[in-house]
Amino acid sequence: MKHNSNEKLRLLTYAGLLAALTTVATLVIRIPTPTKGYINLGDTIVNIAAWILGPVYGSAAAGIGSALADLIAGYTVYVPATLIIKGLMAVIGYYVFTAFGKRWHTIPARIAAAAAAEIVMIAGYAVFEGFLYGSAEMAIASVAGNLVQGIFGAGASVALYELVLRHVPRLTK
């Protein structure tokens, strides 16, 4: 799809705004997990960025905002993995919502999209932490904390979008 320069500027501006919001949401409340990670509110904005901006700009906002939060919080070893995992979450969330949104009401479609995105997050960090710590036990241990974060992130993003942001026009086709 081609965008004129005004549309590209608008998408880039929204992506920057949502990246900043993702960073702030990730850093506002941080509940440490046993695997040295933390439960946070960032996935709420990651999912919303995907739904509003689409796979390219949504992925950039999600990945950059989340990675920046890890950098600021001192979790520098997680920055590259977070950039990839959160960006992939947005891509998956967008495409699942787009596929199911054609057949289902918006709420079930968003729930499915958020659940798929959170599964990517849980699996992505389990694989990363398994390699990082050289331990299958650490990979498995990361699942519980990330599952809690995923459930909260999915629920909060669907609720926030449906209750507040539903009337924001989509920026992509």
Overall average pLDDT of the 33-52 stretch:
86
Question: pLDDT tens digit string along 148-158?
Answer: 889 989 999 99
Instruction: Give the model's pLDDT for residue 4.
Output: 79
Question: Which has the closest alpha carbon to 49: 145, 163, 146, 160?
Answer: 160
Q: What is the mean pLDDT of the chain?
A: 89
For the chain, the domains span 5-165
C-alpha span between 138 and 149 (Å, rounded): 17
What integer is the mean pLDDT of 161-171? 70
Per-residue pLDDT of 94-149, as tens digits, reads 999 999 987 877 889 999 999 999 999 999 999 999 999 888 888 888 888 889 88
Tell me the DSSP string of 41-109. SHHHHHHHHHHHHHHHHHHHHHHHHHHHHHHHHT-GGGHHHHHHHHHHHHHHHHHHHHHHHTTS-HHHH
Q: What percent of the chain has pLDDT over 70?
A: 91
- Pick from 127, 69, 67, 118: which is nearest to 92 by CA? 118
Answer yes or no: is pLDDT of 173 > 50. Answer: no
Residue 39's DSSP bridge partners are 31
pLDDT computed for residue 171 by the predictor: 53
CATH of span 5-165: 1.10.1760.20
Task: Check whether 27 has a pLDDT greater than 80.
Answer: yes
Tokens 């990730």 found at: 26
